[in-house]
Amino acid sequence: MQERINQRTNPIIGSNIRRLRLERNMKATDVIAKLQLEDVNVTTGIFSKVEHGRNNPTVDMIIALRKIFAVDYEEFFKPL
């Protein structure tokens, strides 16, 4: 089972993922395709839920997103 980062009480990670995606003018489907190339099994529905704080991202997803967005891990935890 994959380790997950819990964002139920504070969906800051999902909001920051969405912010980073929009800052790069990327569609969710573009990010999902890149995640799948990084061997992160994710669907459109799961990714949408992560961005909206309804699902917790896996550690593997955060690692891959750091690479895709070319940012430090701190970017995912910035206050809104």
Per residue in 14-48, pLDDT (tens digit) is 999 999 999 999 999 999 999 999 999 999 999 99
At the top level of CATH, which class does the domain 12-75 belong to? mainly alpha
CB 16 within 8 A of CB 76: yes
d(CA 8, CA 10): 6
Kindly report the average pLDDT of the chain as a whole number: 93
What is residue 10's predicted lDDT score, i.e. its pLDDT? 74
What is residue 33's predicted lDDT score, i.e. its pLDDT? 98
Residue boundaries of the structural domains of the chain: 12-75
Q: Which residues contact 14 (CB under 8 A, 6 or more apart)?
A: 7, 50, 51, 52, 53, 54, 57
What is residue 47's predicted lDDT score, i.e. its pLDDT? 98
Place of tokens 């550690």: 59
- The predicted model scores a pTM of 0.90
What is residue 1's predicted lDDT score, i.e. its pLDDT? 60
